[in-house]
Amino acid sequence: MESHEGAAAAAAAVRDCVLDFSRLSLNTFDADSVSEDRKRDTRQLFLNYNRLAALPSSVGLFSNLEFLDISNNGLTAICEGITRLGRLKTLLAKNNRLDEFSLPKEFGSLQLEVLNFSGNRFEEIPLQCTKLLRLQSLSVGGNRLRSIPSEIEHLTSLEMLYLGGNLISDIPPELAHLPYLTYLVLCDNRIQSVPPQLARLHSLRSLSLHNNLLTYLPREILSLVHLQELSLRGNPLVVRFVKEMIYDPPSLLELAGRTIKSRNVPYSPCDMPSNLERYLDLASKCPNPKCAGVYFDSCVRQIKFVDFCGKYRLPLMHYLCSPECTSPCSSNPQSDAESEEENSVPADRLQRVLLG
């Protein structure tokens, strides 16, 4: 009997923490109709599916609020009062009319962990959002974003980033500075290439790139050892082996640098200006195992197919030191087959590769 009473009391306490004003066709929200005790005890507030054009400042009176859902209204602005919600962890504001000018200046002072602005009118990710240092999940899908700000790198706690259904054409390399990013969704955009720096996302498990303008992937993507799902359908990925020879002859500076590095010529800081020493440190080794060459700025770009999971062949970009380099990317059938065997990704690495 006592256990049933205890369970009933616990259920009542949970109900007291939740205030649900959803689906009431509200044009305004009058916080004065809620008692002071109820405001203090409320942890979750639902105002979704109404007709609110603006979020009233009185929402800031719910001092212990942790969860706020204002989705599916006609909101064009979020009030300054929201910045008084020091315990707010989750803000859902999907399917409104918000844009980059709709947020209060101090929005970045919130302690948010989950933020969903999908289905709005953002053309840029507001810089206030890049100051939410505790943010773990950010969704800004189905907007009008044309770019991802480099300041995204400040969100070092981010685990999920959803930016599908926008007008994004480039992925900034700063995205690679998010050590805990696990799910990255960039589908349904206008992305033409993937920066090789994304190989530093060592926690990444799912990468959605379908319905973009990709024709190849950087070979560094093979370094994503925890990647389990890669979605690429709806991209103009090349359907047969393509060999591109795009090559600018090396400068005299590069030729000298190649000679020093490939022949292991000893040097010390006192032998040359500091800028030349830094230049020599930028040498990249040719990936061809039969070549001991290096390159700096001048290289040959080639597209090479690599087997994924024994089922799919993905075009990856390779960089070689010169056209004369006998490469595993050669169109020679024998060396091509050998290269695919060497560079194939086993089936237990990627659980799902979605191409069609």
pLDDT the model gives residue 322: 72
pLDDT of residue 342: 40
Q: Tell me: the pLDDT tens digits for 205-218?
A: 999 999 999 988 88
Q: Choose among 349, 348, 327, 350: nearest CA to 339.
A: 327
Whether 144 shows a pLDDT value over 60: the answer reads yes
What is the pLDDT at residue 302? 61
Residues of the chain with CATH 3.80.10.10: 11-242
pLDDT tens digits, residue range 305-348?
A: 555 544 455 666 667 777 666 544 433 333 333 333 344 555 45
59: number of Cβ within 10 Å: 22
More confident residue, 242 or 97: 97
Q: Give me the count of residues in the chain.
A: 356
CA distances from 325 to 206, 216, 241 (A): 35, 22, 18
- For the chain, where are the alpha helices, taking DSSP H only? 2-17, 36-41, 252-262, 274-280, 333-343
Strands, E, within the chain: which ranges?
Answer: 18-20, 44-46, 67-69, 90-92, 114-116, 137-139, 160-162, 183-185, 206-208, 217-218, 229-231, 284-285, 294-295, 300-308, 312-320, 352-354
Q: Classify domain 11-242 by CATH number.
A: 3.80.10.10
pLDDT score recorded for residue 316: 66
- For residue range 265-289, what is the model confidence (pLDDT) as tens digits? 888 888 888 888 888 888 888 777 7
SS3 state at 3:
helix
pTM, full prediction: 0.72
CB proximity list for 74: less than 8 A, separation 6 or greater = 51, 52, 53, 96, 97
Distance, in Å, from the CA atom of 121 to the CA atom of 226, rounded to the nearest integer, reads: 34
pLDDT at 15 over 70: no
**Cα gap 65→162, rounded to integer Å:** 25
